[in-house]
């Protein structure tokens, strides 16, 4: 959704997995909708669907309230018509909340917090092939609470040592919390891990493929 490391890494990961990837700006979605697409992956900052755009995001983001409303209507219609929506990372998760596609509480750590985490995956659906006491990677960590309407597919390990290496202050609230969830009543998946970060996190690429193929 914008020129960020999260976005570009996810795009490259999907291409390496063999998917046909079309990059769309929010303005293009607002103008043309999502007809002809099977999956919509939002990976990047929530600011590109904000009307308070930075200079860096100006050319990629929505320009006015009419564009925002059209974007929201097209994405909502896409999901309601059976399209698959996947959010990757903190920014995308916040955008999903703004768009009304989840009622989860989106909790976010510091923008520069990052590192390797210990994750308990369910081993099913999006997390098939992963297990308990496994690993993941976060950058601007995000975790989800109030997940009563979700299928929780992965949580941070419920021990104080769930953060294995890196830098993340004030992380205790995330211990044991959900980090990958799927809405029960819509094909909407939130992946809190940076599964394609800078195209480096090969071990986590399967999460993206699983989320796309999961029914």
Going from the N-terminus, what domains does the chain have, and what CATH number goes with each?
5-213 (3.40.50.880)
Which of the two residues, 181 and 197, has the higher pLDDT score?
Answer: 181
CA angle (194 as vertex; 95, 156 as ends), nearest 5: 95
Q: Which residues contact 184 (CB under 8 A, 6 or more apart)?
A: 149, 150, 151
Q: Does the pLDDT at position 5 exceed 50?
A: no
Tens digit of each residue's pLDDT (9 = 90 or more) over 130-170: 999 999 999 999 999 999 999 999 999 999 999 999 999 99
Mean confidence (pLDDT) of the chain: 92
Where do we find the tokens 């989106």? Answer: 106
175, 180, 181, 186 alpha-carbon torsion, rounded to 10° = 160
User: What pLDDT does residue 51 have?
Assistant: 76
- Can you give the pLDDT at residue 57? 66
| Mean pLDDT on 14-22 | 93
């Amino acid at each position: 959704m914008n020129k960020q490391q999260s976005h570009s890494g996810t795009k490259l990961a999907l291409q390496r997995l063999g998917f046909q990837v079309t990059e769309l700006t929010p303005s293009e979605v607002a103008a043309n909708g999502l007809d002809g697409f099977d999956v919509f992956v939002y990976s990047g900052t929530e600011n590109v669907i904000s009307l308070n755009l930075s200079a860096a995001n100006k050319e990629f983001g929505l320009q006015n309230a009419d564009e925002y409303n059209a974007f929201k209507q097209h994405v909502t219609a896409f999901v309601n018509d059976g399209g698959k929506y996947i959010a990757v990372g903190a920014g995308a998760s916040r955008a999903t909340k703004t768009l009304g596609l989840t009622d989860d509480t989106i909790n976010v750590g510091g923008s520069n917090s990052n590192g390797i985490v210990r994750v308990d995956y369910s081993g099913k659906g999006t997390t098939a092939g992963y297990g308990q006491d496994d690993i993941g990677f976060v950058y601007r960590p995000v975790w989800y609470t109030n997940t009563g309407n979700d299928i929780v597919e992965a949580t941070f390990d419920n021990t104080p040592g769930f953060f294995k290496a890196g830098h993340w202050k004030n992380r205790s609230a995330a211990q044991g919390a959900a980090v990958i969830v799927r809405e029960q009543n819509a094909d909407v998946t939130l992946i809190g891990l940076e599964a394609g970060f800078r195209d480096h996190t090969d071990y986590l690429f399967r999460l993206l493929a699983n989320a796309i193929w999961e029914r």
